[in-house]
Amino acid sequence: MPKLAYLGPEGTFTEEALRLLDPTAERLPCANVSAALNAARAGEADGAVVPLENSIEGAITTTLDEFAWGEPLLITAELLLPVQFSLLARPGTEIPHIKRVYTHPAAITQCRGYIARELPDAVVVSAPSTAAAAQEVSLPGSPYDAAIAARIAGEHYGLTELAGGIGDRSDTVTRFVKVARPGGPLPEPTGSDRTTLVVFLADDHPGALLEMLTEFSVRGVNLTRIESRPTGDGIGRYFFHFDFEGHIGDARVGEAIAGLHRICGEVRFLGSYPRADGRQPQIKRGTSDAEFAEAGEWLARVRAGRVQ
């Protein structure tokens, strides 16, 4: 039974994601994304589950930066989890009593409409996670009257759900990934895979991004996400996260990644893994594995001087 670290405490959306990704795993809650990933790196856990992006908030930059700068980890699975927020309080609390609300900044953003409408006079304070907010609110003597968090967090910490589904949108989704220490074999290609890379530029010349995208497009590899992140070396210096269709074992994907490796300063491979949405890529003419293999054999014959 594997042990998986995750962004805790118990009751976070990440725990929910972990249970869905690996129902039988032992769970190790950690204080934050970095701690969860470090637990996996250090061998205290066999892997970790962390959020990568949210359909409202965008990228979880801590996760992106950990993947780029920390000791290497490989993504082995992803999950898309609908996110539903609840207003949670100690039993006996009623909405008109709520003066101080505690929750994660992402939840503040995503429940902005509800807060303005139903809690116009409340002070809203940032918490490190929604579950941490619930935990804090559950303590007797907490300065906070309510938390915004997942319903599961309320159950966990003995809070009452005063209102459910309070997000401004009902279709908010968070994408979680499961990671492991590198070293073992990669997940097998399934025909519906995604690959994630971090790419640092060799030198930041005009057109560098266009060149990188051309390495993908010339081989028929479709991008599904691009994120720029600062390198830390001053405004105007960025590196990139790319998600794209296909598996590094696919010929077209391998050649594209090798192409990036040649022209870029550094390429860090973050994994090839089954897509959560099960979508199949459209393979452009001339870019299937069979066509790559045939072209390679043809080239070998021609180089050997044999009739074509």
- Site residues (CB under 8 A) for a copy of itself, limited to 116-135: 125-128
Within 149-188, the residues that bind a copy of itself by CB under 8 A are 169, 171-173, 175, 182-186
Min dist. Cβ of residue 221 to a copy of itself (A):
9
For residue 230 the two structure tokens come to: 């600062």
CA angle at residue 178 from 32 to 35, to 5 degrees? 20
Tell me which of 10, 95, 217, 283 binds a copy of itself, using CB under 8 A: 217
Cβ count within 10 A of residue 139: 11
Min dist. Cβ of residue 94 to a copy of itself (A):
26
Residue 68 CA, distance from chain mean position:
13
The residues pairing with 240 across neighbouring beta strands, listed in sequence order, are 199, 228
Question: Where would I find the beta strands (DSSP E) of 131-284?
Answer: 146-149, 160-164, 173-180, 193-200, 223-230, 238-245, 266-274
Our CB check for a copy of itself shows the closer of 118 and 168 to be 168
Q: Alpha-carbon distance 186 to 40, whole Å?
A: 17
Our CB check for a copy of itself shows the closer of 22 and 243 to be 243
Our CB check for a copy of itself shows the closer of 152 and 177 to be 177
Tell me which of 35, 122, 162, 209 binds a copy of itself, using CB under 8 A: 209
Strands 123-126 and 146-149: unpaired
139 is a contact residue toward a copy of itself (CB under 8 A) = no
Within 15-74, the residues that bind a copy of itself by CB under 8 A are 53-58, 61-62, 72, 74
Min dist. Cβ of residue 160 to a copy of itself (A):
25
Within 248-287, the residues that bind a copy of itself by CB under 8 A are 248-249, 254-255, 257-259, 261-264, 268-269, 277, 282, 285-287
Q: Alpha-carbon distance 23 to 41, whole Å?
A: 22
Min dist. Cβ of residue 104 to a copy of itself (A):
9
Within the chain, what is the greatest distance between any pair of CA atoms?
Answer: 86
